[in-house]
Chains A and B, each alone.
Chain A
């Protein structure tokens, strides 16, 4: 099974 990652795991908040 796959787990969907979120963008916040890669990009920081500006």
Chain B
């Protein structure tokens, strides 16, 4: 499982990259 943040504000775009 990868923990990515969940924001209280709306988000326009979320990009997740695994290096």
Co-complex (A, B): no
A-side interface residues toward B, CB under 8 Å?
Answer: none
B-side interface residues toward A, CB under 8 Å?
Answer: none
